[in-house]
């Protein structure tokens, strides 16, 4: 619970013929956090496995597979058959076969669409012609007449008939589309065209390739379009049948290709020496024996597993490699691990702060948001997110756990404050402790918040001491502003202050509890140099030592003082929450005397509580995060760790 899982580095030696087998087995087991084997080789004997060409081939096959899935309209949730493990050559041949059949139909469809579009445009052009039921050959044989077709507005049409009366004959279509045919003698052609142009006549050519009636030609074209559409339906049906035939197979192939790619990328981290391959990574100690069994099974018993404890690894000792951190998480701790990892990943030799973060976060939230009713609503919402049968993501379920714990904490503090949905009536619901907006209780509320901060800061400093000792940095654990001397100064300062406040007296000897730790902190650098280099001013001067020591003392004083005072905000936000609830019920009281006051007061009370739950809950959570990160984490958290991310193939298996 309080420390990450113990890790060990493993070097797995296998024959090259077992390379794919061991990679797949390791990916299926999900136990090893891979690192680059070539970089880990201290003797530089290993070579990188070249995966570039193979990777390009797999990417090409995967692209074709995705193209076919999209083109054939295959749904990602379609039933995927068990086709077994296909070789890459078999996959390539199958994809080529399906693609050729698809391309054949696609070309047919493209050609039919082009022909349909061309004929449709011709048909549309013929609809523009005003005389649909007259044989055009007869009109063209009128050698003494000039014929022109086009469009013009109704007003222009009427004016044209007046201007050209006796000189031209106008025929207008019956559909009021503005289509007009104009006949005139050939000797009047230029005059007629000039007048028509002035009136906005838009000319379009008569269909030269039509000898009979335009309507007759249009019927022929429509029959051709229907025939083409029928062929299109047949071709599209063939594509759908192709999708039905190979849809599940293509999805299965896509999964296999994704797996092959993951395997390929993993092999890029392996090392090779002649016919041997080396896999290097980190595994939890508890998984070491199961890993040996996996390797033995995948390599017919010839694979070798070498295990090195994390603390004994040469690269880790030299600071050239980081041990991945695996949390020992429970359902309750996971939401708070999100807060921890959002800040940074703990170092392998640090204590896992998740439990401390969870405890302090929940207590501070309840302190600021104490209300029985509102806390119960938050807890119920969290329980719904946590245990609902709906397909919520794991992260959202963890948020539900966080809501539940914070809501329960708010309920507990709600009983302490005597608050139920913001309503405080001590005759009806007496507080077990105090009322946040009672003037006589406010000093106690704020002082208790500061006292809570003192406890939390003290625990944070002790965690820092433990972290230094676990990493065998004993001097830093003692001589540090957030080490043993720092906590001695802090407790000494608090003890002297409390004693003076209670007894109203002060003795000079009491300063020793503050002065001695500060003096030792001031001499930290010379003492360190004296122990390790036998010279108190090693690579430094007296002036630098005094300057650095003075700065260290100032940081110690201001750090502890400001950090302690920061926790006043916990009490202040508890007062703010209670005051906002009081304001809501003050409005409710004013509405009760109005017409429909009862209904309005209920609406305001409900909406007011919802607003408080949303707004104050968010504010309280933000303040908790701020105090965690800036006042607690900064005292013990080093970070710089690497998250344990085991190599898995099944994560890539999906439609």
pLDDT digits (tens, 9 = 90+) for 475-494: 889 998 899 999 999 999 99
* Confidence check: pLDDT of 350 > 60: yes
Distance, CA of 128 to CA of 418 (rounded, Å): 84
Q: Are 245 and 171 in contact (CB under 8 A)?
A: no
Within 10 Å of residue 568's Cβ, how many Cβ atoms?
Answer: 15
Contacts (Cβ under 8 Å, ≥6 apart) of 29: 290, 291, 294
Dist CA 284 CA 268 (whole Å) = 23
Burial of residue 593 (number of CB atoms within 10 Å: 0-12, 13-18, 19+): exposed
pLDDT at residue 469 tops 80: yes
| 352-to-325, 425, 642 alpha-carbon distances in Å | 9, 43, 13
CA angle 263, 268, 272 (to 5 degrees): 110
Where in the chain are the domains? 130-206, 353-636
Classified as helix, coil or strand, 181 is strand
The most confident of the ranges 129-133, 249-253, 424-428, 447-451 is 447-451
Measured CA distances, 591 to 423, 601, 610 (Å): 16, 6, 18
Q: Is the confidence at residue 179, as pLDDT, over 90?
A: no
pLDDT at 196 over 70: yes
Both structure tokens of 256: 């296999």
From residue 318, alpha-carbon distances to 43, 159, 314, 466 in Å are 16, 100, 6, 22
Q: pLDDT tens digit string along 84-141?
A: 778 888 888 999 999 898 888 889 989 998 988 888 877 776 666 655 566 665 565 6
Q: Which two tokens stand for residue 392?
A: 């919520």
Whether residue 402 contacts residue 377, with contact meaning beta carbons closer than 8 Å, is answered with no
What pLDDT is attached to residue 83? Answer: 78
Of how many residues is the chain composed?
A: 655
pLDDT of residue 352 exceeding 50, the answer is yes
Q: Which of 218, 198, 202 is nearest to 210 (CA)?
A: 218
Residue range 178-188: mean pLDDT, rounded: 79
Please determine, for residue 426, whether its predicted confidence score (pLDDT) is greater than 80.
Answer: no
Lowest mean pLDDT among 39-43, 175-179, 267-271, 274-278: 175-179
Span 39-68, pLDDT tens digits? 888 777 788 888 888 888 889 999 999 888
The CA distance from 271 to 206, in Å, is: 78
Backbone phi and psi for residue 14, each to the nearest 5 degrees, phi listed first: -135, 160
Residue 507 carries which DSSP code? -
Evaluate if residue 374 carries a pLDDT over 90: yes
d(Cα 437, Cα 582) in Å, to the nearest integer? 9
Share of the chain above pLDDT 70, in %: 92
Q: Among 452-461, 540-549, 622-631, whose mean pLDDT is lowest?
A: 540-549
H helix intervals, 299-441: 314-317, 334-343, 354-368, 372-387, 394-417
Residue with tokens 């906005």: 200
- 651 pLDDT band (50/70/90 cuts)? very low
Q: Which residue reads 């006549």 in tokens? A: 201
Confidence at residue 652, expressed as pLDDT on a 0 to 100 scale: 43
Report how far apart, in Å, the C-alpha atoms of 650 and of each of 25, 247, 252, 478 are. Answer: 11, 21, 13, 47
Whole-prediction pTM value?
0.73
Q: What is the pLDDT of residue 539?
A: 67
What is the rounded CA–CA span in Å between residue 186 and residue 103?
A: 56
- Band (pLDDT 50/70/90 cuts) for residue 627 is very high
User: What is the pLDDT at residue 135?
Assistant: 62
**Are the beta carbons of 375 and 613 closer than 8 angstroms?**
no
Confidence of residue 202 (pLDDT cuts 50, 70, 90): confident
Alpha helices in 128-213 (DSSP H): 136-140, 154-163, 189-198
Instruction: Please list, in sequence order, all residues whose beta carbon lies within 8 angstroms of the beta carbon of residue 357, skipping any fewer than 6 positions away.
Output: 336, 339, 340, 628, 632
Q: Which residues face 150 on adjacent strands?
A: 180, 203
Please check whether residue 192 is in contact with residue 146, taking contact to mean a CB–CB distance below 8 angstroms: yes
* Those residues with Cβ within 8 angstroms of residue 653's Cβ, 6 or more apart along the chain or in another chain: 255, 258, 259
Alpha-carbon torsion, ordered 632, 634, 636, 641, to 10 deg: 120
- Per-residue model confidence (pLDDT) at position 211: 52
Q: How confident is the model at residue 653 (pLDDT cuts 50, 70, 90)?
A: very low
Q: Write down the mean pLDDT value for the chain.
A: 85
Torsion sign across C-alpha atoms 313, 317, 322, 323:
positive
CATH architecture for the domain at 130-206: 2-Layer Sandwich (3.30)
């Amino acid at each position: 619970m309080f420390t990450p899982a113990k890790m060990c580095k493993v070097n797995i030696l296998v024959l090259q013929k077992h390379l794919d087998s061991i990679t797949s087995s390791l990916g299926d087991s999900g136990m090893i956090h891979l690192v680059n084997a070539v970089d880990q080789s201290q003797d530089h004997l290993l070579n990188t496995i070249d995966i570039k060409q193979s990777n390009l081939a797999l990417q090409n096959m995967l692209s074709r597979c995705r193209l076919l899935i999209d083109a054939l309209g295959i749904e990602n949730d379609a039933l995927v058959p068990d086709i077994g493990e296909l070789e890459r050559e078999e996959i390539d041949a199958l994809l080529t076969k399906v693609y050729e059949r698809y391309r054949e139909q696609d070309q047919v469809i493209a050609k039919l669409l082009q022909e349909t579009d061309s004929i449709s445009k011709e048909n549309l052009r013929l609809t523009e012609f005003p005389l649909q039921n007259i044989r055009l050959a007869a009109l063209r044989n009128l050698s003494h007449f000039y014929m022109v077709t086009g469009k013009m507005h109704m007003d222009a049409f009427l004016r044209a008939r007046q201007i050209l009366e006796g000189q031209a004959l106008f025929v207008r279509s019956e559909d009021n589309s503005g289509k007009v045919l104009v006949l005139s003698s050939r000797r009047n052609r230029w005059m007629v065209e000039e007048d028509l142009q002035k009136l906005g006549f838009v000319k379009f050519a008569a269909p030269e390739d039509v000898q009979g009636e335009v309507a007759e030609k249009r019927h022929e074209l429509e029959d051709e379009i229907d025939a083409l559409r029928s062929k299109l339906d047949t071709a599209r049906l063939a594509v759908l049948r192709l999708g039905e035939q190979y849809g599940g197979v293509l999805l299965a192939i896509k999964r296999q290709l994704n797996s092959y790619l993951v395997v390929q990328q993993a092999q890029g981290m392996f090392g090779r020496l002649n016919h041997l391959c080396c896999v290097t990574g980190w595994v939890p100690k508890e998984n070491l024996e199961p890993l040996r069994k996996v390797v033995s099974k995948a390599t017919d018993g010839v694979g070798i597993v070498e295990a090195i404890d994390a603390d004994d690894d040469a690269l880790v000792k030299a600071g050239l490699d980081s041990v991945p951190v695996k949390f020992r998480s429970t359902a309750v701790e996971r939401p708070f691990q999100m807060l921890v990892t959002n800040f940074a990943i703990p170092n392998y030799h640090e204590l896992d702060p998740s439990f401390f973060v969870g405890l302090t976060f929940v207590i501070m939230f309840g302190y600021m948001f104490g209300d029985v009713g509102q806390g119960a609503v938050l807890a119920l919402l969290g329980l719904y997110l946590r245990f609902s049968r709906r397909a919520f993501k794991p992260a959202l379920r963890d948020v539900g756990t966080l809501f539940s714990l914070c809501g329960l904490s708010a309920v507990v503090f709600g009983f302490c404050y005597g608050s139920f949905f913001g309503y405080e009536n001590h005759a009806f619901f007496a507080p077990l402790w105090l009322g946040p907006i009672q003037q006589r209780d406010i000093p106690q509320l704020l002082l208790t918040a500061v006292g809570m901060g003192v406890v939390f800061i003290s625990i944070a400093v002790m965690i820092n001491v433990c972290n230094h000792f676990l990493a065998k940095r004993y001097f830093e654990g003692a001589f540090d502003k957030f080490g043993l001397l720092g906590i001695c100064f802090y407790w000494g300062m608090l003890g002297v202050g409390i004693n003076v406040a209670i007894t109203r007296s002060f003795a000079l000897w009491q300063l020793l509890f503050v002065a001695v730790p500060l003096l030792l902190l001031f001499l930290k650098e010379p003492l360190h140099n004296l122990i390790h280099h036998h010279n108190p001013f090693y690579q430094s001067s007296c002036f630098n030592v005094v300057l650095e020591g003075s700065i260290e003392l100032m940081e110690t004083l201001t750090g502890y003082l400001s950090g302690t005072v920061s926790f006043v905000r916990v009490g202040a936000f508890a007062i703010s929450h209670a005051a906002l609830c009081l304001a809501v019920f003050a409005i409710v009281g004013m509405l009760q005397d109005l017409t429909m006051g009862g209904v309005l007061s209920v609406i305001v009370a409900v909406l007011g509580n919802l607003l408080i739950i949303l707004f104050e809950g968010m504010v309280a959570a933000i303040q908790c995060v701020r105090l965690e990160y800036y006042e607690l984490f900064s005292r013990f958290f080093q970070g710089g760790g690497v998250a344990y991310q085991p190599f898995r193939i099944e994560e890539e298996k999906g439609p």
